[in-house]
Amino acid sequence: MLVVIAVANAQAPAPPQGQAPGPARGRGPGIQLPRQGFEATGQNPANYTPDEAAAVAVVKKWVETTNNHDLAAHMALIDDNIAFRGDPISPLWHGARAYCGSYGFVWNPTSVIKLDELYVVGGPSETLVLIKRTDINNPAGAGRDLNGYQVSLSVLARVKNGKITEWYDAPLNKVSAGALQGAGGPAPAAAQPARPPTPPNVPAACMSYPEGSVR
């Protein structure tokens, strides 16, 4: 019986999309890092369509203005009639004023967010940007609920004409009902009362923005 063993000219596997070849980009042999710090999805920014690239720029500016606490520049990215739910247990709200009041990171100088991962898909009409981010709610020892506690969230943002028209957060950490109540949110089992046109406790700095309307 004749046995033939064929040895193919093996080639090293190509690096995942969005990564550079070779170990030089990592901290040790064989370790490779994404080209962009938040591109852990492996999506290659070089392959973005123009609409996708524009939407990613909006979301990156959304993060930047949040951490710079630049309210005016941040709200310039928000559609007047934005639909949003800042937490899965929160009611659906509409309007830039309600958004401004709900998204406290931009006017709270002690809280920041970090962009961890990003994926974008879309076209000329509108684009969806999916991100994973980490919220850092006040410095440790601040004497407030969730102070210093890092909260991971998945986020869906819909971008159209350079504006964020929809924004939905979904925390990935397990947070107790008591913590949610202490942070200003209702317990999951709490009944949702009829909503006023504007959420309660909207800062004065937000009152100049439009209330918006249900589309």
Interval 147-179: pLDDT, tens: 567 788 899 999 999 999 999 998 886 655 554
Report the 10 Å Cβ neighbour count for 52: 21
User: What pLDDT sits at residue 118?
Assistant: 93
Q: Which helix (H) or strand (E) holds 51?
A: helix 50-67
User: What pLDDT sits at residue 48?
Assistant: 92
Q: Tell me 19's DSSP state.
A: B
User: What pLDDT sits at residue 164?
Assistant: 97
The residues of the chain scoring below 50 in pLDDT are 1-36, 142, 179-194
User: What pLDDT sits at residue 172?
Assistant: 83
Does domain 36-186 correspond to CATH entry 3.10.450.50?
yes
Q: What share of the chain is helix, strand, coil (3-state, %, to 5)?
A: 20, 25, 50
What are the boundaries of each domain within the chain?
Answer: 36-186
The CA distance from 143 to 210, in Å, is 33
Token pair in block for residue 17: 């999309």
Helix (H, G, I), strand (E, B) or coil at 72: helix
Interval 17-44: pLDDT, tens: 444 443 333 333 343 433 445 656 678 8
User: What pLDDT sits at residue 201?
Assistant: 74
199 Cβ partners below 8 Å, 6+ apart? 93, 98, 101, 102
